[in-house]
Chains A and B, each alone.
Chain A
């Protein structure tokens, strides 16, 4: 008995240490200077918590446990190491979904086990299972969409009613399970409904909104983990899950705010539905050759580069940085202007530029750089669209009206590298492309950056 209680104390102490390491790790991750150390702190916490869990009293199946950790760990390690930087968003969605699935699995084991933990624990287990299962299937759909496995956005009238109905049925079944200690059949039905709800919730959401959705599911998984932590009486899970739930909720709100949309708007209305409302734009798009554009850049005093998802698709970040370095060597003041929601995740562009070796202190976000556009000789837009569309300031009828944008139209000259003449992700025509001081450089981001480099070198 004495031996058991000291073991118990060791486990609790280790979880305490792990919780501290997680919080300090996250704290360090929120500054670029200390960020690299932060993940190592959190990682150490995870190792401590995992190892000490093997000592948990009253457990069996150690062989299976080790095999399961090895399978999951090795698959994730290999896929995580191999994935290209441009595909990071969907990998985060995938790993997040796995966490949600694990929380749902814990709930399922507890519920199928049939032990009566009392009303409170029953409610918490079911709730965590519901949230975890929704996060699991929802994240997998988000992964499939970003990975290009699923290209269609499914929308039909009454879709919201279907979601609400599914949620209502899930809650009713949950009450039956908790109140009446219903058997395996009901529990199975409950989880199937929860999984279906995650799918139907995510299907109608367009790719442009995916960052917000992934962040939301990240927060939800945190919450599910915390709830299952209460069920298992595990302080490390409660604290880590709650911290992630709160931090993730805040991050989700920041992202939705950056797009000037409420979270409800992201979840419950398709972006494309209202796009047709905005009228055609006056004027024409004026093309430019790479050689002329290169000369403009080389003889500018100040160039602001605005990257967008097109840069990620074209894997152009290395070429873009090479171009920026060449210009800097010529004495051009080059800065990168990043919109918070450029790309498929907040900070997506920062990650890509960091991969190419761009130092973070020449990268500025929208609020820091917007006042500098009027003094810039050239704003070079690479694969960005909606985040530089001036109708967000001028046209109240536009669906993106009121969204904070980068004021690239205020620059003396604008060069836009773009693959074709089509509208952007949101389907809205971009008035910037039709301005008198805008020139369109049609082509793949990487190829065009290479041509600009060749031009600047030859001068």
Chain B
């Protein structure tokens, strides 16, 4: 389905997108954006779920379980701290 050069093309284009998206970001947003990208790689959760779902032996199941716990922590924790940080960004023109 995704193999060989198609995968390489996806990789190249996605790398380009990542580079462009962050290219002109003001310093003020560096920490929230690092936190936001930290949240985005929480997508590892879907991989961990698949790994656990396909696990055969006890050992694989245990590792898969730990993987899902860690991945869920990455996704949820990343969202919560990013949202909290961005919540505070207000312009002086907005009513507070």
Contacts and interface: CB of A to CB of B under 8 A. Distances in A.
Interface of A: 15, 18, 22-23, 25-27, 29-33, 35-36, 38-40, 42-43, 46, 49-50, 53-54, 56, 58-62, 64-65, 68-73, 75-77, 79-81, 83, 85, 88-89, 91-92, 94-96, 98-99, 101-106, 108-110, 112-113, 184, 214-215, 218, 221-222, 225-226, 228-230, 232-248, 250-251, 254-255, 338, 340, 345-348, 350-351, 354-355, 357, 359-363, 365-366
A315 to B, nearest CB: 15
B89 A95 contact: no
- The 6 closest A-B CB pairs, nearest first, are A105-B67, A59-B53, A246-B18, A72-B72, A80-B80, A359-B92
Which residue of B33, B46, B69, B96 has the most chain A CB atoms within 10 A of its CB atom?
Answer: B46
Contacts of A101: 66-67, 70
Nearest to B18: A246
Contacts, number: 390
Interface in B10-57: 10-11, 14-19, 21-57
A214 B84 CA distance: 19
Interface of B: 1-2, 7, 10-11, 14-19, 21-57, 59-61, 63-93, 96
B31 A98 contact: no
Contacts of B71: 72, 98-99, 102
Given A250-B19, A357-B90, 5 more contacts: A54-B49, A76-B72, A89-B31, A222-B40, A345-B30
Nearest to A99: B74
Nearest to A214: B34
A96 B28 CA distance: 21
Which residue of B50, B63, B65, B96 has the most chain A CB atoms within 10 A of its CB atom?
Answer: B50
B28 A99 contact: no
Contacts of B49: 50, 53-54, 56, 59, 65, 69
21 contacts: A32-B26, A36-B86, A49-B43, A50-B49, A56-B50, A68-B69, A72-B69, A88-B35, A95-B81, A98-B74, A99-B42, A99-B74, A105-B63, A110-B51, A112-B57, A112-B59, A232-B47, A243-B18, A346-B31, A350-B29, A365-B27
Contact of B40 (A60, A244, A355): A244
The DSSP consensus for interface residues of chain A is helix
Given A25-B40, A112-B59, A39 B52 contact: no
The DSSP consensus for interface residues of chain B is helix
A103 B70 CA distance: 9
Given A83-B81, A248-B37, A351-B31, A62 B63 contact: no
Which residue of A99, A222, A355 has the most chain B CB atoms within 10 A of its CB atom?
Answer: A99
B25 A30 contact: yes
Contacts of A62: 53
B41 A221 contact: yes
Which residue of A32, A60, A215 has the most chain B CB atoms within 10 A of its CB atom?
Answer: A32
B43 A236 contact: yes
A363 B28 contact: yes
A131 B79 CA distance: 23
